Structure 1
Amino acid sequence: MSRYFIALLCLFFLIMQGMAMSLLPANLVYSDLLMTPHWILIFLLIIAIFYDSDDTYHAVWYGLVFGLLIDVVYTGVLGVYMITYTLIIYTVHGLNKWLHANFFAASLLAIIGVALADTMLYIIYSFVQITTMSWGEYALLRLLPTLAANMIFFIILYPLVKEKVHDWAEEVSSL
């Protein structure tokens, strides 16, 4: 049953991710700063940390499916988010084995995950010449605001879903 809730929440975040910029003040939206919401990635990182065990990869599969949905709905290049989200979630799943599952470790893994994902997307889009931003411009005008915005989302989301995700994990492990 928990897998259906995870999929429904990912679908909800997919829809809300598209409306995220309309929720911000106009002076921030029309500034030089570019913020990319990675809400599905943040949620799936929480799933990878608190739901998946060492030998299960549910978050990776969700990353594959919902990354493809992001590609279909929001981008013109298929497979970019799908591959990026899948690789980043897999990497964080592996890093999670070295850390205790708590707020500080989850925050660190979320920062690493969002930074790696957004940088990987920038590199791919630069390679296929969709973006012409220099590395310095990207780091200052996109990466830092994206990290800040997604960490605010993580800080809001974490207390709302952490216990429920942990309960779902115990429910699955008891089966």
Structure 2
Amino acid sequence: MKKFLLPLLFLFLFLLESLFVQLVPADIFGPRKMWVPHFLFSAVLFLTIYGGRKYGIIYGAVFGLLFDIVYTEILGINLFLYPFVAYIVAKIMHVLQNNIIVAFIVSLFGIGLLEIGVYEMDSLIHVTQLSFMSFVEMRIYPTLLFNAIFLLLAGYPFKKYFEKYSQVLRDE
């Protein structure tokens, strides 16, 4: 039964992102500022840090594909970037201490890396004409601020849940 709770949590976060975008005003950080909630991806990164690289990459690939199918017109960007950034975060965490503050900072770094990766792919295939500095000012800063607030609220519960999940998997 406990094995089904993790996919349900990720599915809930996947749905919560879209609900949040629909219900919260878009100009919360001011006009011409775009913030993007990455609740699901934050959970993938915390799963990678506290539950194991293998599970983070698998869940990243599955939910990256689901994200591409539902929300984007280009399949494969999030399918590639979610597990890739999870892998990079896992490698970074092998070097750094594994505590909640470091996980918070590394997760924000991962979210920023995801945003930049999506921007670069969109720029490469000419989906966007926005300059990089405009992108940073309009989207990166509000997105990182918004997700930092979310991680301050959800980071510790994620840590506890994924540590417990990892322990259950080791005991089996």
Assess same fold via TM > 0.5: yes
1:65·1:82 contact (CA, 8 Å) conserved in 2?
yes
5+ unaligned residues in a row in structure 2: which ranges? Answer: none
1:132 aligns with 2:129: yes
1:157 aligns with 2:154: yes
Count of aligned pairs = 172
State the Cα RMSD in Å: 1.6
Moved more, 164-173 or 26-35: 26-35
Q: CA deviation at 1:19?
A: 1.6
1:51·1:168 contact (CA, 8 Å) conserved in 2?
yes
CA distance in 1, matches of 2:26, 2:104: 28
2:35·2:146 contact (CA, 8 Å) conserved in 1?
yes
Which residue of 1 is the match for residue 28 of structure 2?
28
CA distance in 1, matches of 2:107, 2:30: 27
Using the size of structure 1 for normalisation, the TM-score is 0.92
C-alpha distance after superposition, 1:25-81 (max 9, x if no partner): 3642772101111111100111011111xxx51110100010000000001000111
Q: Which aligned segments of 4 or more residues in structure 1 are displaced greater than 4 angstroms?
A: none
Moved more, 14-23 or 123-132: 14-23
Which residue of 2 is the match for residue 48 of structure 1?
48
CA distance in 2, matches of 1:164, 1:26: 31
CA distance in 2, matches of 1:73, 1:104: 33
Q: Cα–Cα, structure 1 residues 124 and 27, in superposed 2: closer, same or farther, change >3 Å?
A: closer
1:50·1:169 contact (CA, 8 Å) conserved in 2?
yes
Q: CA deviation at 1:3?
A: 3.8
Q: Cα–Cα, structure 1 residues 110 and 76, in superposed 2: closer, same or farther, change >3 Å?
A: same
* Structure 2 counterpart of 1:110, from 94, 107, 110: 107
2:42·2:151 contact (CA, 8 Å) conserved in 1?
yes
| SS class of match (1:37) | coil
* Structure 2 counterpart of 1:77, from 57, 60, 74: 74
| SS class of match (2:69) | helix
1:21·1:29 contact (CA, 8 Å) conserved in 2?
no
5+ unaligned residues in a row in structure 1: which ranges? Answer: none
Using the size of structure 2 for normalisation, the TM-score is 0.93
**Quick one: which amino acid aligns to residue 147 of structure 2?**
N
1:99 aligns with 2:133: no
Moved more, 23-32 or 116-125: 23-32
Aligned identity (percent) is 26
Matches within 5 A, 1:2-13: 2-13=2-13
CA distance in 1, matches of 2:149, 2:44: 16
